[in-house]
């Protein structure tokens, strides 16, 4: 991040011009006049009023995307031309990086350093990667008898509805928008009502880059209203959703009740992080476990919220994490020295505190945190929290908390560790720490998770897919495989 002081970020925040208007068909729209307040979790202050969309606004956005797909230039451009447009968007995102990072930090509480260095790096890299990939895909021509020619082509699927959450409002939007655009689709994005401002700015920047009207539309609104309207809309061909498992079920129902649109889901997680006694570096394993659960205030679907540690080293590893929890700097997200910012809002903070209370009632031992912090700021701040003596049947070990709350469970042998790791309805991610290559391979294969990190956590790049198993969803974001969600396979058989 550039050398910008806390005072300078505060000054920029006061001067920031935040628009809450929908972005439909290449222009900002106010909708029907209904609004809701965008409240910053750092101090509880209203940032701006946001246009509150419903079925009418969703209809307008889908109609614009439909026109752009059916008769506009975008799907008919050469792939290289689409790629150059994505690269142009990436360049403009880079130019506006500080403004975008500040908007993300203000609206959802992420530390400004993380917003600038991690969130913006990820979304810029995503647009660049798919921009570079756009003209490097290949169709197929299978071998046939001499009197026939067979062609297998990938065609853009049509209008894509994308519904994304607030924890990584730009990264997760980019993971859906960029491959959909590269494939030739048009998009209607519905951001979370907790983080609409950065998504709206992304939509305007894409238009400024020269993206044709209607190709990317952004509609604000509540999930049960605007999200439902998008899920039920017969003009939407594909629906891509990241969020909770409960809401993911709704989108499957919406598909069944409308046009059987394809629905791709990236849902919740209760990810295990297994530490074996032969871990190459127990201190590093503990430091990474602490970083993983406290990063982004624990508001991550992949957060390693269940630490499964061998009983022989459990106290050593847990004590190192507890020390880190006490040392972690929690405070104003606009302070570059802050390591953990605010929870996304007061209602979510109360929900996480309810989970902590349940853990205490069920008999888990609180080793660190467990209460509010940064009192007097008006913000929604929580102490980094660690529980040990957690039983596998406790809600702490079963339910996704989506906060900086670690549950430590112990095991005595490898088979028990694998059983504990897989004893969840989720299957998004997992971690494993061992020095034995054979153990790494065998356990990774046994874990029911879409991603397994060995001797690290949250590593990777755009070349590898991301997604879950079981009730963590289907389909994959990132990599060339993401394009499979936004294309249709067509067979053409020519009798010669």
Active site residues: 266, 301
Q: Which bin fits 4, alpha (ψ -120 to 50), beta or left (φ > 0)? A: beta
Residue with tokens 């959802």: 108
Give the single-character DSSP code of 464.
S
Cα atoms in the 13 Å half-sphere on the side-chain side of 466: 20
Residues 6+ apart with CB under 8 A from 219: 22, 24, 53, 57, 58, 61, 188, 189, 190, 226, 230
Both tokens of 72, joined, read 């506009």
Torsions phi, psi for 340 (to 5 deg): -140, 125
CA distances to 221, 245, 423 from 426, rounded to whole Å, are 28, 9, 9
Longest CA pairwise span in the chain (Å): 80
444-468 residues labelled b (16+ CB within 10 A) or e (exposed):
bebbbbbbbbbbebbeeebeebbbb
Q: Which bin fits 274, alpha (ψ -120 to 50), beta or left (φ > 0)? A: beta
CA distances to 187, 236, 391, 483 from 487, rounded to whole Å, are 13, 14, 45, 6
Q: Which DSSP string do the residues of 233-301 spell out, in sequence order? A: -TT-SEEEEES-HHHHHHHHHHHHHTT--EEEEE-----EEEE-TT-S-HHHHHHHHHHHHHGGGG--T
Both tokens of 311, joined, read 């009983």
Q: Which DSSP string do the residues of 160-202 spell out, in sequence order? A: EEEE--SSSTTHHHHHHHHHHHHHT-EEEEE--TTSHHHHHHH
Both tokens of 99, joined, read 């403004």
Give the single-character DSSP code of 334.
T
Inter-residue contact 456 to 464 (CB < 8 Å):
no
Residues 210, 175, 268, 319: is their CA dihedral positive or negative?
negative
CA distance 252 to 453: 30
């Amino acid at each position: 991040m550039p050398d910008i002081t806390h005072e300078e970020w505060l000054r920029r925040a006061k001067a920031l011009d935040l628009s809450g208007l929908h972005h439909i068909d290449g222009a900002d729209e106010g909708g029907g006049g209904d609004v809701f307040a965008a409240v910053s979790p750092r101090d509880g202050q209203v940032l701006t009023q946001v246009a509150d969309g419903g079925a009418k606004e969703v209809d307008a956005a889908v109609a614009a995307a439909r026109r752009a797909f059916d008769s506009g230039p975008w799907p008919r451009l050469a792939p290289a031309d689409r790629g150059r447009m994505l690269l142009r968007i990436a360049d403009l995102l880079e130019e506006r990086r500080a403004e975008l990072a500040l908007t993300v930090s203000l609206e959802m509480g992420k530390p400004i350093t993380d917003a600038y260095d991690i969130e913006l790096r990820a979304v810029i890299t995503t647009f660049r990667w798919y921009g570079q990939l756009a003209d490097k895909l290949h169709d197929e021509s299978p071998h046939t008898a001499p009197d026939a020619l067979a062609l297998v082509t990938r065609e853009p699927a049509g209008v894509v509805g994308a519904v994304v959450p607030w924890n990584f409002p730009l990264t997760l939007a980019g993971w859906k928008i960029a491959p959909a655009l590269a494939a030739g689709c048009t998009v209607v994005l519905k951001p979370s009502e907790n983080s609409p401002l950065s998504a709206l700015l992304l939509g305007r920047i894409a238009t400024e880059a020269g993206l044709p009207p209607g190709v990317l539309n952004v509609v604000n609104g509540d999930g049960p209203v605007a999200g439902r309207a998008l899920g039920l809309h017969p003009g939407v061909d594909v629906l891509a959703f990241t969020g909770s498992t409960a809401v993911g079920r709704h989108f499957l129902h919406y598909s069944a009740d409308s046009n059987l649109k394809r629905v791709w889901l990236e849902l919740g997680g209760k990810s295990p992080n297994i530490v074996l006694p032969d871990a190459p570096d127990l201190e590093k394993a503990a430091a990474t476990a602490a970083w993983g659960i406290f990063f982004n205030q624990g508001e991550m679907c992949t957060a390693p919220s269940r630490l499964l540690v061998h009983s022989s080293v459990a106290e050593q590893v847990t004590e190192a994490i507890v020390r880190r929890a006490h040392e972690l700097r929690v405070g104003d997200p606009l302070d570059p020295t802050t390591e953990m910012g605010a929870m996304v809002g007061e209602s979510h903070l109360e929900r996480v505190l309810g989970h902590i209370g349940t853990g205490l009632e069920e008999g888990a031992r609180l080793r660190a945190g467990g209460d509010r912090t940064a009192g007097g700021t008006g913000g929604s701040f929580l102490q980094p929290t660690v529980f040990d003596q957690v039983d596998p049947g406790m809600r702490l070990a079963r339910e996704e908390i989506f906060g900086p709350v670690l549950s430590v469970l112990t095991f005595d042998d490898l088979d028990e560790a694998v059983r504990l790791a897989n004893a969840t309805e989720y299957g998004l991610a997992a971690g494993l720490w061992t020095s034995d290559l054979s153990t790494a391979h065998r356990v990774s294969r046994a874990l029911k998770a879409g991603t397994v990190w060995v001797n690290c956590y949250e590593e990777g790049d755009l070349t590898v897919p991301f997604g879950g198993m079981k009730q963590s969803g289907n389909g994959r974001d990132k990599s060339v495989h993401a394009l499979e969600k936004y294309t249709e396979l067509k067979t053409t058989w020519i009798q010669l």
